[in-house]
Amino acid sequence: MAPVDASRSVRSATVRMLHPNPSDDVDPFDIYTAPDRAPIGDRPWVVVNMITTVDGATADAEGRSGGLSGPADRQAFTALRSVADVVVAGAGTVRAEDYGPARISPERQRARVERGQTPQPRIAVVSGSLNLDPGARLFGDPAGPRPILITYARSDPAARRRLAEVADVIVAGEEALDWPAAVRELRRTTGAGVALVEGGPTVNGHLLGDDLIDEMCLTIAPGVAGGTSPRAVRGQAHHGLRRAALAHALEDDGFLLLRYVTRRAGGSTDG
């Protein structure tokens, strides 16, 4: 998902709830902030948020997901960031979407503090190549929360030292990233109860392969893109079809906003 300005959210007056309780006028912000998302053991609750076209493309012709979005999707994006403790994205997504620090409105920051959270979520970038510019916008806000870099031991030590000057580094795994260890370390080092994952598809594929996705928020944009854009999840085949329960379905001007839960708070699995 492409970053949006989370300090602003324009209400779309046309949003309908299709499931579970049909209604002609709902606020996506309320729907997406209401669920109880409790940590799973020693790791945070993991939410994946993505947008695709009807034919499954995750980006427009310019390679950005932001061009697919609409008002209700942006509200859902803002809502999820407002409840997340940490926002996780792959380095490719961070570069393509020009990530900056998460922006939360003063009102939402006060609500977070009242819940015992930090005023703003931290951004965690996942990278093995460490092909990241320390001068990028994400790393350039001294007043914002310090970003996190998630990598593994065999990554370039010189690049890791360079990026450690602008981000807190988490090393999980030796030859490749150990995803279960990485999410546990996020919980241990930051206290994160909710980790919001904004892609890309390869990151999502690793999380699915290690059975670490608890909730999947998917917006289907009313368009057909064609081309070679990847699916929302890409990687090795997952063993068996993981059951996902439809928690909410919203519609706004042809956009479908779907929220699926694969694991209930407390650790039990649906299906």
Confidence of residue 86 (pLDDT cuts 50, 70, 90): very high
Which of 137, 78, 66 minimizes the C-alpha distance to 109?
78
pLDDT at 265 over 60: no
Domain count across the chain: 1
The answer to whether residue 204 is domain-embedded is yes
CATH of the domain at 55: 3.40.430.10
Beta strands in 200-268 (DSSP E): 215-221, 245-252, 255-261
The answer to whether residue 269 is domain-embedded is no
Confidence of residue 259 (pLDDT cuts 50, 70, 90): very high
Residues of the chain with pLDDT > 90, as a percent, come to 77
Tens-place pLDDT, residues 20-47: 999 999 999 999 999 999 999 999 999 9
Residue partners of 130: CB distance under 8 A and separation at least 6: 91, 149, 151, 155, 156, 159, 160, 163
| The model's pTM | 0.91
pLDDT at 7 over 60: no
Residue partners of 242: CB distance under 8 A and separation at least 6: 208, 211, 262, 271
pLDDT at residue 271, rounded to an integer: 36
- Rounded Cα distance between 156 and 65, Å, is 29
Better pLDDT: 66 or 247: 247
Please provide the average confidence, as pLDDT, over all residues in the chain.
90
Lowest mean pLDDT among 76-85, 93-102, 178-187: 93-102
Better pLDDT: 60 or 5: 60
Confidence of residue 103 (pLDDT cuts 50, 70, 90): confident
Q: Which domain holds residue 210?
A: 31-234+243-261
pLDDT at residue 13, rounded to an integer: 57
Tens-place pLDDT, residues 140-167: 888 789 999 999 999 999 999 999 999 9
Phi, psi for 150 (deg, rounded to 5): -110, 120
Lowest mean pLDDT among 47-51, 225-229, 233-237: 233-237
Tens-place pLDDT, residues 130-144: 999 999 999 988 878
Lowest mean pLDDT among 58-62, 95-99, 254-258, 267-271: 267-271
The answer to whether residue 174 is domain-embedded is yes
Strand order in the sheet with 86-90: 16-19, 245-252, 255-261, 215-221, 45-53, 194-197, 86-90, 122-126, 148-151, 168-171
pLDDT at residue 12, rounded to an integer: 54
The answer to whether residue 203 is domain-embedded is yes
